[in-house]
Amino acid sequence: MNAQLNPLQQQAQTLSESVTTPIPGSTKIYLEGSRPDLRVPMREIALSPTPKLFGEDVNHPFAVYDTSGPYTDGAVSIDLLKGLPAVRAAWIAERGDTEVLPGLSSAFGRTREADPALDGVRFAHRLPPRRALAGGNVSQMHYARRGIITPEMEYIAIRENQRIDAITEAHLLRQHRGQNFGASIPARITPEFVRSEVARGRAVIPANINHPELEPMIIGRNFLTKVNANIGNSAVSSGIAEEVEKLVWSIRWGADTVMDLSTGKNIHETREWILRNSPVPIGTVPIYQALEKVDGRAEELTWDIFRDTLIEQAEQGVDYFTIHAGVLLRYVPLTAKRVTGIVSRGGSIMAKWCLAHHKENFLYTHFEEICEIMKAYDVSFSLGDGLRPGSIADANDEAQFGELETLGELTQIAWKHDVQTIIEGPGHVPMHLIKENMDKQLRECGEAPFYTLGPLTTDIAPGYDHITSAIGAAMIGWYGTAMLCYVTPKEHLGLPNKQDVREGLMAYKIAAHAADLAKGHPGAQARDNALSKARFEFRWEDQFNLGLDPERAREYHDETMPKQAHKVAHFCSMCGPHFCSMKITQDVREYADRQEVEQGMAEKSKEFLAQGAEVYRPE
């Protein structure tokens, strides 16, 4: 059988086996919704009982939000050559508002499909594309505004609640009251709440009808803060199998969406492989591919080439498009005196085009036509910030904020068409200027979800920009950003490898969760409480498994205390077995109990004396 597979297919088959390692200590579970084909995945972490020393407690299994898809389900057999099961296919079909097309609508797509030279790299099980019936609108926003609760919305409601109602232990639900800067987070997420948030544009469900493999998720300030990971090959690196592996690797570490930023050859084919194997929304920057089509000469871009690219990608199933429609001709000269000019690739492509033709950005002038395409497939806008600051010096300047105002104007147009929209944000911003970004975005864009890259809070740490930016990301997440675009340690220096993707994601899962805690998101603290309890009770395995990266935690513990016996030791490497801070708490608890008893007795005694010290009181 293998003999018939080409090298890429062989790679994919090998990969199929390697990407299905379950996460240590966890089991995949599914919560069923109102219909049997609505099964929301979660990852359940098994916990051990509290040791006697700390008071014997059961510690029920703890379920966490799970982005990793079927890959971590031991019961599912993965074949990257075939793609994932199409969990949404029936929901899309039964709405009866779409048609299956006889073939691809884009000229470029048809050319690629007909080219025999691409047989070796083409994904074999391409689905026939689907499109809204003529003049129709299949966006989740359109349904929401007509009062329809889609299965996607119900799925999301279950997913966002993270099975919090199954938690019976009061101490796990104990949580600080948050500070949410005007967000409207309910105690429980209902399908109706999801619908209403999508209807008013405050949340987005990126869910192209040509991406039925998708496990629905939502982006909005009143939901859990999300994280995006960028992957993609470039002119100087990486192939298709490597990108698929990065995708699976990204979702394993918690990426809620993945952007494919490929710029090299075979972009079209790489994207197909990624989409067919992705349970998370995939975003792209279509202008990157359009630029490839004109051999990198930005001035030769045309609306027709771009339009064909949008349709090509929409029919593959891309869930959101970054569109730099806010880079207006008049803003371009405002960047001339910057320390780092225009650093967004899309932004500079459009700036170059505007200057070359001395005309307004064609993405802006054709914006309503773009909306027509978006609604026929339910592709969401991610309005790009082409003029975002590339250095601390350039933060919050006229160019950046001018563009943001235009993005606000475009949001209104998109919403007029019931097209879902998120807004991209910076970039490099010192801490004290971050909130101004958030406040202005909320004001200008009518609370459309903000999606920021970091921001990086200083420029002086190349090699550590996952950290410079996690600081800014946590803060802006707290202030209201709905999704954080990760930054890896390779930022500014090179292309991320697998380990960089993991490092970047961990930094951003931390930022997102810190933001949820600070906002007071219902139930957000339960995992912190469970982990801290495990830590305090020296349940080492539980501490590792409740963490964001069980493998790393175990590995680090092994370095100092390698023996398996140490995993159940009631001490740590800081103090050693001789003296232990944690153990003293037992003394403290006994003391406090005794004190309470004594106080109780003293009060009783006082009461007794006050009542005349009679042992037998007359009734």
Residue 511 is a binding residue for a second copy (CB under 8 A): yes
Nearest distance in Å: CB 494, a second copy: 3
Among 454, 489, 522, 523, binds a second copy (CB under 8 A): 489
Among 587, 607, 614, 619, binds a second copy (CB under 8 A): 587
Near a second copy in 180-209, by CB under 8 A: none
Residue 600 is a binding residue for a second copy (CB under 8 A): no
Sign of CA dihedral 62, 68, 74, 76: positive
Among 145, 159, 221, 527, binds a second copy (CB under 8 A): 527
Asked if 427 contacts 387 with a C-beta cutoff of 8 angstroms, the reply is no
Near a second copy in 528-547, by CB under 8 A: 528-529, 531-533, 535-536, 543-544, 546-547
Near a second copy in 376-395, by CB under 8 A: 390-393, 395
User: Which of 177/617 has CB closer to a second copy?
Assistant: 177
* Structure tokens belonging to residue 262: 């490929």
Residue 13 is a binding residue for a second copy (CB under 8 A): no
Residues 6 or more apart whose Cβ sits within 8 Å of residue 55:
none
User: Which of 275/531 has CB closer to a second copy?
Assistant: 531
Residue 347 is a binding residue for a second copy (CB under 8 A): yes
Residue 52 is a binding residue for a second copy (CB under 8 A): no
User: Which of 48/532 has CB closer to a second copy?
Assistant: 532
- Range list of β-strands (E), 165-297: 203-204, 219-220, 226-231, 257-260, 282-284
Near a second copy in 135-174, by CB under 8 A: 171, 174
Residue 595 is a binding residue for a second copy (CB under 8 A): yes
User: Which of 97/292 has CB closer to a second copy?
Assistant: 292
Among 60, 95, 126, 345, binds a second copy (CB under 8 A): 345
Asked if 409 contacts 164 with a C-beta cutoff of 8 angstroms, the reply is no
User: Which of 31/548 has CB closer to a second copy?
Assistant: 548
Residue 94 is a binding residue for a second copy (CB under 8 A): no
Q: Give the C-alpha separation, 64 to 216, whole Å.
A: 16
DSSP annotation of 616: S
Near a second copy in 212-251, by CB under 8 A: 234-237
Among 440, 497, 567, 570, binds a second copy (CB under 8 A): 497
Residue 124 is a binding residue for a second copy (CB under 8 A): no
Measured from the Cβ of residue 9, the count of other Cβ atoms closer than 10 Å reads: 18
Residue 349 is a binding residue for a second copy (CB under 8 A): yes
Binding-site positions read 230, 259, 288, 324, 344-346, 385-388, 424, 428, 451, 492, 572, 575, 580
Asked if 469 contacts 455 with a C-beta cutoff of 8 angstroms, the reply is yes
Q: Give the C-alpha separation, 347 to 399, whole Å.
A: 12
Residue 103 is a binding residue for a second copy (CB under 8 A): no
Nearest distance in Å: CB 50, a second copy: 13
CA 566 to chain centre: 35
* Residue positions counted in the chain: 619
Q: Give the C-alpha separation, 361 to 326, whole Å.
A: 8
Binding-site positions for substrate read 230, 259, 288, 324, 344-346, 385-388, 424, 451
Binding segment for a second copy (CB under 8 A), chosen from 11-19, 92-100, 118-126, 431-439, is 431-439
DSSP-assigned beta bridge partners for residue 27: 44
Among 118, 305, 548, 570, binds a second copy (CB under 8 A): 548
Nearest distance in Å: CB 481, a second copy: 13
Among 430, 439, 446, 570, binds a second copy (CB under 8 A): 430
- With CB under 8 A as the rule, give the number of residues binding a second copy: 121
Near a second copy in 264-323, by CB under 8 A: 264, 291, 296, 298
Q: Give the C-alpha separation, 298 to 512, whole Å.
A: 36
Nearest distance in Å: CB 563, a second copy: 11
User: Which of 378/537 has CB closer to a second copy?
Assistant: 537
Asked if 293 contacts 305 with a C-beta cutoff of 8 angstroms, the reply is yes
Q: Which of 269, 367, 288, 291 is nearest to 327 (CA)?
A: 367
Among 111, 179, 365, 412, binds a second copy (CB under 8 A): 179
Q: Give the C-alpha separation, 269 to 262, whole Å.
A: 11
Q: Give the C-alpha separation, 277 to 266, whole Å.
A: 17
Question: CA 514, 519, 520, 526: dihedral to nearest 10 degrees?
Answer: -20
CA 100 to chain centre: 30
User: Which of 204/514 has CB closer to a second copy?
Assistant: 514
Q: Give the C-alpha separation, 92 to 150, whole Å.
A: 10
DSSP annotation of 46: P
Measured from the Cβ of residue 60, the count of other Cβ atoms closer than 10 Å reads: 15
DSSP annotation of 216: -
Among 124, 494, 597, 601, binds a second copy (CB under 8 A): 494
Near a second copy in 444-483, by CB under 8 A: 457-464, 466-468, 470-471, 474-475, 478
Binding-site positions for Zn(2+) read 428, 492
Binding-site positions for [4Fe-4S] cluster read 572, 575, 580
Please give the C-alpha separations between residue 550 and each of 12, 517, 543, in angstroms, as whole numbers.
Answer: 27, 21, 8
Nearest distance in Å: CB 530, a second copy: 9
Q: Which of 62, 40, 87 is nearest to 189 (CA)?
A: 40
Nearest distance in Å: CB 20, a second copy: 23
DSSP-assigned beta bridge partners for residue 132: 98
Q: Give the C-alpha separation, 267 to 287, whole Å.
A: 12
Residue 490 is a binding residue for a second copy (CB under 8 A): yes
User: Which of 271/338 has CB closer to a second copy?
Assistant: 338
Q: Which of 60, 81, 74 is nearest to 23 (CA)?
A: 74
Residue 582 is a binding residue for a second copy (CB under 8 A): yes
Locus of tokens 């470039």: 234
CA 151 to chain centre: 20
